[in-house]
Structure 1
Amino acid sequence: MANTLQQLAETGVAIWLDDLSRAQIQSGQLARMVEQGGVVGITTNPTIFAKAIGSGSGYEEQIRDLALRGTAVGETVRLLTAWDVRAACEILRSTASRTAGRDGRVSIEVDPRIAQDPARTATGVKDKAYDDTRYVIDLAAPDTVNTMPAATLDAVANHGRPRGDAIAGTYDAAREVFRDLLQVGIDVDDVVDLLEKQGLAAFAKSWDELIASVTSQLEKAGAEVSASGSVAPIDHDGHTHPTAQASASPT
């Protein structure tokens, strides 16, 4: 595993994990991926957190505490995700120190209502006809960041065949492909614009799913959640009490 990923690192590829969960942190799995697997950064997104929090694994105690306090849904989202990101930063602290801050970073996507141009991508293949390491091996180049879902990271470590800088010397051929596409009526600018719009719509949908996931977990903890996102605090016996808290937005 280390050999393949080390080759990518020597080419100049910064390997980022496109995944994060409380279970990964508490089990030591994330620390092992950093120490042994060459991961130097982490990306997160609402879909990742919705899945992790929806599983309930590792979040129960904090959610119960927030339900006791009557913490609004939006603020609960912020506190849950910030805990995970802060813990991940701590795991990557030595990486950041070793590289003088070049690596060792964790990204977090925020509420799309306050975000500026949210956009992200990861390198897992969507077309199953493609080799599952294609968007890693074929995009390897100096001074690049490659964000990989855990399955792609495992695939690269298991059977990836790095060949160094795969981009150098390909620019003229790439420009020719763009010219050929234009000749058959495919405008790359239009494609990029469409993909960006679809990506932004998907991001907003993912945020809604995260809100729904957190709401469900608060309700499982015994809290009453209003349509506005406010939460009636519960006591230690599981009884709810009225609250004036109304804001569902993180501050």
Structure 2
Amino acid sequence: MTQNSSTQALSDAGVSIWLDDLSRKRLETGNLAELLATRNIVGVTTNPSIFQAAISGSDEYDADIARLAGEGKDVDAVIEVLTTDDVRNASDLLKDVYSATGGYDGRVSIEVDPRLAHETEKTIEQAKHLHEVVGRENVMIKIPATEEGLPAITAVIAEGISVNVTLIFSVERYQAVIDAYLTGLEQAAEAGKDLSTIHSVASFFVSRVDTEIDARLDAIGGAAVDLKGKAGVANAQAAFGEYLEAFGSERFEALKAKGANVQRALWASTGVKNPDYSDTLYVDNLIADPTVNTMPEKTLEAAADHSAPAAALSAESAKTGEQVLASVADAGVDLADVFAVLEREGVEKFEKAWNELIETVSASVEAARA
């Protein structure tokens, strides 16, 4: 098998393509292995919604659920086994990529319980626990970028654990995430840890920004509607400007001299919600070296079919993005409120998915014990 030319072009441009999905079926049928061989996939991300869909929508997990129920495990323990087994097996599948890239790629992410999004100490505790349970160097622990999540990010990085920071919507919160990462590296260095083994990505959500802002622009009406479909990319452009500044700073250079890695920007929520927009909008316009784009399979296949990458992100495009955001604000959109709503809804969506997963597994456990 050979790699697709369009996804290869993205990879050559410095974009690491990670699949935003995982299931037992993908692992057992060889689908994930095929995507590694033909679509330049070099990483995998998961979240509560992905696990809920995977476990609730198939019978591949039934035997394990029955076995674990028979062993007397409670529902939370059953879910932990099911999810960490999939992440561990995916990590093993990606270990060659991990080794070949020196830990840069070949990563598989698993998220802390979304119900802990506003509990710092419990997030730290579970992040360390998940890292130990999965037991693979190439696992990344996902921690939400809530205010309570920020100190948890620092603490977990300081422990030498690689982190995928998720649910970032605003440039201001992204700045705080970068600071949390750098502070964690500084603490890790003070503790004598090998900084070269610590990696991190900052997952900046894109399409959800357009969905929320477009609705507000429609409500305003008039010339404001001309700005629809522009805020998501502009927000990411502005964020990449922050990346360039932070990781070109003296503060990071001091850490780099000790072996530290940059915290790459990761474009998440790249599936286009509005059918009027190009289905590769959040791929073609977010090219930069180094970045990660984590794509659901539908977006991945669209990119493989007809991706047409635009110019790479730069300090100049960051200024353009800032200007677009300023225009959106001038049109009457309260951006601070937008980002607060998106963070709250993001946490709530993952909590809802997790609770639905608990209900599904609870029913299966009870049936197995009947």
TM-score by length of 1: 0.83
Q: Structure 1 CA distance, aligned partners of 2:363 and 2:297?
A: 26
Residue in 2 aligned with 1:97? 99
Deviation at 1:162, TM superposition (A): 2.3
Residue in 1 aligned with 2:357? 210
Residue in 2 aligned with 1:130? 277
Deviation at 1:31, TM superposition (A): 0.8
Aligned residue runs from structure 1 range 90-239, under 5 A: 90-115=92-117, 116=123, 118=144, 119-120=166-167, 121-166=268-313, 169-220=316-367, 222-223=368-369
For the pair shown, which has the larger CA radius of gyration, 1 or 2?
1
Deviation at 1:167, TM superposition (A): 5.2
Aligned residue runs from structure 1 range 41-80, under 5 A: 41-80=43-82
Between the two structures, name the one with larger relative contact order (CA 8 Å, sep ≥ 6). Answer: 1
Q: Which amino acid aligns with 2:80?
A: R
CA RMSD of aligned residues (A): 1.8
Q: Structure 2 CA distance, aligned partners of 1:170 and 1:163?
A: 11
Q: Structure 1 CA distance, aligned partners of 2:34 and 2:364?
A: 29
Bigger shift: residues 205-214 or 83-92 = 205-214
Q: Structure 1 CA distance, aligned partners of 2:331 and 2:58?
A: 50
Residue in 1 aligned with 2:35? 33
Query: What does the per-residue CA deviation read over 1:45-89, in whole Å, with 9 as the maximum and x for residues that have no partner?
Result: 111111111123321221121121121000000000000000000
Q: Structure 1 CA distance, aligned partners of 2:99 and 2:340?
A: 38
Q: Structure 1 CA distance, aligned partners of 2:48 and 2:328?
A: 34
Query: What does the per-residue CA deviation read over 1:207-249, in whole Å, with 9 as the maximum and x for residues that have no partner?
Result: 11111121233234x22xxxxxxxxxxxxxxxx5xxxxxxxxx
Q: Structure 1 CA distance, aligned partners of 2:52 and 2:319?
A: 42
Are 1:8 and 2:10 matched, yes or no?
Answer: yes
Residue in 2 aligned with 1:235? none
Residue in 1 aligned with 2:140? none
Deviation at 1:166, TM superposition (A): 5.0
Alignment check: 8 A CA contact 1:138 1:167 kept: no
Q: Structure 2 CA distance, aligned partners of 1:77 and 1:109?
A: 13
Which ranges in structure 2 are unaligned for 5 or more consecutive residues? 118-122, 124-142, 145-165, 168-267
Secondary structure of the residue aligned to 1:41 is strand
Alignment check: 8 A CA contact 1:23 1:57 kept: no
Secondary structure of the residue aligned to 2:309 is coil
Deviation at 1:163, TM superposition (A): 3.7
Alignment check: 8 A CA contact 1:4 1:162 kept: no
Q: Structure 2 CA distance, aligned partners of 1:202 and 1:132?
A: 23
Q: Which amino acid aligns with 2:280?
A: T
Secondary structure of the residue aligned to 1:14 is strand
Query: What does the per-residue CA deviation read over 1:188-208, in whole Å, with 9 as the maximum and x for residues that have no partner?
Result: 222112211111111111111
Higher helix share: 2
Deviation at 1:127, TM superposition (A): 1.0
Secondary structure of the residue aligned to 1:86 is helix
Residue in 1 aligned with 2:126? none
CA gap of 1:90–1:103, structure 2 versus 1, over 3 A, is same
CA gap of 1:164–1:170, structure 2 versus 1, over 3 A, is closer
Secondary structure of the residue aligned to 2:354 is helix
Count residues in correspondence: 223
Runs of 4+ in 1 over 3 A off after TM superposition: 113-117, 166-169
Secondary structure of the residue aligned to 1:169 is helix
Residue in 2 aligned with 1:226? none
Deviation at 1:160, TM superposition (A): 1.5
Query: What does the per-residue CA deviation read over 1:106-158, in whole Å, with 9 as the maximum and x for residues that have no partner?
Result: 11112123354623442101111111111111111111111100111011101
